[in-house]
Structure 1
Amino acid sequence: MEKVSVKNMVCSRCVMVVTQYVAPLNVGLQQVTLGELVFKNKITAAQKDLVRNTLIPFGFEVIDDDKMRMVERIKHIIINLVHYQEEGMNNNLSEILSADLHCVYNYLSGIFSEVTGKTIEKYYIAQKIERAKELLDYDELTLSEIAHRLNYSSVAYLSNQFKKVAGLAPSVYKQQKSERRTSLDKL
């Protein structure tokens, strides 16, 4: 079995597209998850190049660097926590990342900052604010319910972070109807 990391796979639609185009290559694809391809056996360099060249037109990138691979794994854990879990987290982010990746958080934080130029915390906050925008756009939850779902201690705390990141208050954001959300792979 071999795992190959893929950059910019941030949603279930990405998984579907990658599966659709890599499975027919007959390279032994076993499973596709966010940011990762699992092959039944070790793949050759030629097979990896075939996969790489197949994915490039769709904006995906096969990652060979160990640090980049770890950063992508961190990003996918955060995206999953923020965008795909209905209830708030039981543990803090550093404990979740350390447990899932079997590494000390300081090590993960150092690699993430070195590769991306920003902290894990800033990335996490950016993801939470994008999720808040999405939930505001749906207009199904109150700001209080959104704050609870995103694990904020109060509406005021969410509003302050929202204003710092988005440049306007959630209420003003909700009133605007222009193109205002950022693609997850751009955060």
Structure 2
Amino acid sequence: MELHIKNMVCNRCILVVSDIFREAGFQKAKVQMGKVILEEKLDESEFAAIQEKLIQVGFEIISDAKSRIIEQIKKQCIDYMYEDQEKVNENFSDYLSARLNHDYNYLSSLYSSVEGTTIEKHLINLKIERVKELLVYDEKTLSEIAFEMGYSSVAHLSGQFKKVTGFTPSFFKKLGEQKRKSIDKV
């Protein structure tokens, strides 16, 4: 049995969800990003108990197909953002279509109708949060960050950064951690 879990977007999330399933007696639950694979089916009371515990920590089991696709889109956005941009030879729409086996126009339309924003804007917001993280860590130059995040130039990154945050990257760097969000809150 495969269960899809909403808002499960990081390794810490996997640990929390794993603990919930172990505590419920499912020792062999295989927990991966966005889903849990069980050897046996959950009865109604087990399902309700696990769903309640997941909701308490900000997750929930996704039951309808469209919601599952939305969560898969969000997961793929995060995966794409962390890919080595030199190795990614395809644009994002082709990347997403290939991984989800759906036409990008369908995915884009579905996402916009459910989330009220576009996939592209979501991806840009994720990238900007990642750029904030890299700026706060202060380990890379803005040129290195722009290259790593797949921007064509520092000017392109700076322009998009200012449009989204209202700050230049250098001003933001001075502000530091106080203006960051975690990736799972974007």
Shorter-chain-normalised TM-score: which range?
over 0.9
Residue 121 of structure 1 is matched in structure 2 by 120
The letter for the 1-side match of 2:178 is E
Residue 182 of structure 2 is matched in structure 1 by 183
The letter for the 2-side match of 1:37 is V
Distance 2:63 2:140 in 1: 41
Distance 1:43 1:94 in 2: 36
Residue 83 of structure 2 is matched in structure 1 by 85
Partner SS for 2:29:
strand
Distance 1:45 1:113 in 2: 33
Change (3 A) 1:45 1:94: farther
1:20-72 CA distances to partner (integer Å, 9 max, x unpaired)? 12123234753212211111234333332222112111111111121111100
**C-alpha contact (below 8 Å) 2:21/2:27 kept by paired residues:** no
Residue 63 of structure 1 is matched in structure 2 by 62
Residue 73 of structure 1 is matched in structure 2 by 72
- Kindly state the Cα deviation for residue 178 of structure 1 after the two structures are TM-superposed: 5.5
1:34 aligns with 2:33: yes
**C-alpha contact (below 8 Å) 1:28/1:40 kept by paired residues:** no
Distance 2:59 2:7 in 1: 6
The letter for the 1-side match of 2:59 is F
Of the structure 1 ranges 106-115 and 57-66, higher mean CA displacement relative to structure 2 is found in 57-66
Partner SS for 1:176:
helix
Distance 2:11 2:31 in 1: 10
Residue 15 of structure 2 is matched in structure 1 by 16
Distance 1:23 1:86 in 2: 34
The letter for the 1-side match of 2:93 is S
TM-score (norm 1): 0.92
Distance 2:28 2:56 in 1: 19
Distance 2:22 2:165 in 1: 39
- Kindly state the Cα deviation for residue 135 of structure 1 after the two structures are TM-superposed: 0.4
Change (3 A) 1:177 1:128: closer
Distance 1:145 1:178 in 2: 20
Distance 2:148 2:80 in 1: 11
Partner SS for 1:103:
coil
**C-alpha contact (below 8 Å) 1:22/1:54 kept by paired residues:** no
- Kindly state the Cα deviation for residue 185 of structure 1 after the two structures are TM-superposed: 2.7
**C-alpha contact (below 8 Å) 1:109/1:120 kept by paired residues:** yes
- Kindly state the Cα deviation for residue 86 of structure 1 after the two structures are TM-superposed: 4.2
Percent of aligned pairs sharing the same letter = 45
The letter for the 2-side match of 1:123 is H
- Number of aligned residues: 185
Residue 141 of structure 1 is matched in structure 2 by 140
Partner SS for 1:177:
helix
